[in-house]
């Protein structure tokens, strides 16, 4: 078991704690493989009644995402073969969590972004705290909302999913609860007690968390729900940008800047995910794997990761640079099925 994953058994509960301290638990291949191994072991063990996902005490966040810097290096060195292997494994982990036959309880304490969202959202119980910081920031690195986001985001109320996908907005714990991303809200100081009680009686996890719940503050995002539902209603990026430009309010101006600073191709890929969502989670993961295989090979991914994580200048040069230049033909090529033998497949049952 990698030192970046701590596996333990506490009563009738299996527990996986992410412990990659220096990278806010950004997921690596060994971390994904270690979690898959633990989950498969517990799936087959009748003595394990539930699984807890959380972060180790010495780490400030739940999971900041996938190790996209590694994927970028793979693209530059070998055309992305190692990156595709990583996404195959990560998406298999996402699917394993989604289909896991025993309750999974995710404690979204701290940063929960990208790959961390892929770990938390399949859980039947998702606990937010005052430290939660939730986002899908892929537009800033030229990727796309993945790890199942094409399944989860369209199912959020109103136009919240589009808003998150196009702006990369960061939600706090109260906003996660309001949006239905989290199922419970607890003070971080109460999490240790919650986990201890759940380990003793996993079947009562819902009641335990309800009893320990803290009143969530007012969700700031709720105050802008009407604007989000109106301005992000169009199905096209051009339509959303036009709606934001036509609104002279301060909030619309801020979100217009957020949308137009992100990769235009990423935004259009995300919007097509909304209008043509597959029926099952497995179908979505297969589609997202094909998207990932193509998106990491594009200039925008290499450039976006450079701007955010390598040179950290925050000045990516997207190609194309404007929404109008991202054509339907380009999107058709990105969304085309992979050749036979290259497609994503779930783990064998």
Catalytic residue among 110, 115, 150, 168: 115
Sign of the Cα torsion 133, 119, 166, 70 reads: positive
Catalytic residue among 65, 66, 148, 161: 66
Asked about 146 being catalytic, the answer comes back as yes
Q: How many domains does the chain have?
A: 1
Catalytic residue among 54, 67, 90, 146: 146
The residue written with tokens 């109103």 in the block is 158
* pLDDT tens, position by position, 188-206: 999 999 999 999 999 999 9
pLDDT value at residue 2: 64
**pTM to 2 decimal places:** 0.97
Residue 268 lies in a domain: yes
Residue 349 lies in a domain: no
Contact by Cβ (8 Å): 14, 6: no
pLDDT value at residue 1: 47
Residue 345 lies in a domain: no
Residue 107 lies in a domain: yes
Asked about 138 being catalytic, the answer comes back as yes
Residue 45 belongs to domain spanning: 5-335
Residue 245's alpha-carbon distances to 114, 224, 232, 238, 304, in angstroms, are 28, 16, 12, 10, 25
Pairing of strands 184-185, 171-172: unpaired
Asked about 65 being catalytic, the answer comes back as no
- Segment holding 325, helix H or strand E: none
Collapsing DSSP to helix, strand or coil, 142 comes out as: coil
Catalytic residue among 138, 172, 288, 300: 138
Return d(Cα 126, Cα 185) in angstroms, integer.
9
- Look up residue 62 and give its two tokens: 């739940």
Beta strands in the chain, from DSSP E residues, in sequence order: 5-10, 13-18, 50-55, 104-108, 111-113, 125-128, 133-135, 171-172, 184-185
Asked about 66 being catalytic, the answer comes back as yes
pLDDT value at residue 345: 97
Judge if the upstream peptide bond of residue 320 is cis by omega within 30 degrees of 0: yes
Domain holding 196: CATH number?
3.90.226.10
Low-confidence residues in the chain, pLDDT < 50: 1
Residue 344 lies in a domain: no
Number of neighbouring beta carbons within 10 Å of residue 257: 11
């Amino acid at each position: 078991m990698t030192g970046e994953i701590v596996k333990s058994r506490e009563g009738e509960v299996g527990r996986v704690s992410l412990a990659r301290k220096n990278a806010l638990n950004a997921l690596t291949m060994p971390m994904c493989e270690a979690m898959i191994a633990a989950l498969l072991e517990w799936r087959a063990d009748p003595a394990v009644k539930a699984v807890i996902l959380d972060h180790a005490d010495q780490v400030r966040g739940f999971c900041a995402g996938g190790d996209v810097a590694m994927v970028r290096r793979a693209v530059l060195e070998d055309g992305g073969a190692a990156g595709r292997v990583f996404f195959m494994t990560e998406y298999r982990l996402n699917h394993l969590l989604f289909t896991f036959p025993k309750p999974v309880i995710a404690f979204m304490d701290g940063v929960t972004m990208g790959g961390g969202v892929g770990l938390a959202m399949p859980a039947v119980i998702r606990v937010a705290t005052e430290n939660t910081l939730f986002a899908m920031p892929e537009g800033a690195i030229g990727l796309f909302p993945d790890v199942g986001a094409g399944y989860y985001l369209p199912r959020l109320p109103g136009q919240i999913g589009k808003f998150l996908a196009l702006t990369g907005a960061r939600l706090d714990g109260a906003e996660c609860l309001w949006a239905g991303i989290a199922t419970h809200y607890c003070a971080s100081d109460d999490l240790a007690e919650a986990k201890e009680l759940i380990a003793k009686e996993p079947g009562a996890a819902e009641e335990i968390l309800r009893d320990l719940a803290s009143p969530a503050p007012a969700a700031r995002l709720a105050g802008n729900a009407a604007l989000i539902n109106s301005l992000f209603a169009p199905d096209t990026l051009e339509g959303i940008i036009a709606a934001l430009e036509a609104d002279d309010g301060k909030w619309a101006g801020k979100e217009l800047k957020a949308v137009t600073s992100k990769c235009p191709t990423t935004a259009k890929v995300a919007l097509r995910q909304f209008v043509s969502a597959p029926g099952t989670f497995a179908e979505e993961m297969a589609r997202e794997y094909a998207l990932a295989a193509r998106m990491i090979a594009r200039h925008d991914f290499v450039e976006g990761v450079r701007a955010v994580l390598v040179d950290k200048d925050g000045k990516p040069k997207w190609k194309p640079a404007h929404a109008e230049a991202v054509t339907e033909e380009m999107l058709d090529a990105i969304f085309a099925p992979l050749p036979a033998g290259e497609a994503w497949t779930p783990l064998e049952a």
